Amino acid sequence: MSSPNSIADLRKSYERAELNEDASHADPLNQFDQWLSEAIAAQVPEPNAMTVATVASNLRPSTRVVLIKGFDAQGIVWYTNYASRKGVELAGNPYAALQFHWVELERVVRIEGVVEKVSDEESDAYFNSRPLDSRIGAWASPQSEVISGRGILVANAAKYGAKFMLNPPRPPHWGGYRLKPDNWQFWQGRKSRLHDRLRYTLQDDASWLRERLAP
């Protein structure tokens, strides 16, 4: 095992790029589009992976990693089991935070806002585009519930595979969420820990206020 001292001594100098007000976009969605495109082009591992943070009714936060499946002016979209822990927490408190961390590019994007379910039509269209095994898996896994072993999942997959064959419908407990951002932060690592950090805050007139924050 690594000793606490050796962990504390791990350091990295961030020197790949910079982020300033003149070179950044006035609209955070355009800035995100640029950075995500650059992460994909750089072939970083799973550039579409994002952490989703929710808060339960007892005020305890929780996080998990999911994959972004779309974004536009309306918000950031992902799909999951509505009966999962995150689904239950979003039903009680519809505010969430997202984070992308592209380690190789020394960049982080943080997004906050209110979350709503996407339409049934959107969920159906995405569900039907998934590989067959993934569609069966949405039926087979009682996400976030305690199960006695992996055999339960295998048995459920076999059961629903036999039931639905090649055309499993979208489960009623499965679909999409859309986070509608009201706050974005873009972080670019810089030398000597003097990192670049820009925050965009949604204003009452639907414009974005861009400000630099101390790192």
Nearest to 125 by CA among 52, 76, 176: 176
Nearest to 135 by CA among 114, 163, 113: 163
Q: Residue 87 in contact with residue 78, Cβ under 8 Å?
A: no
Task: Select which of 85, 170, 178, 193 is catalytic.
Answer: 193
Q: Is 197 a catalytic residue?
A: no
**Catalytic (active-site) positions:** 193
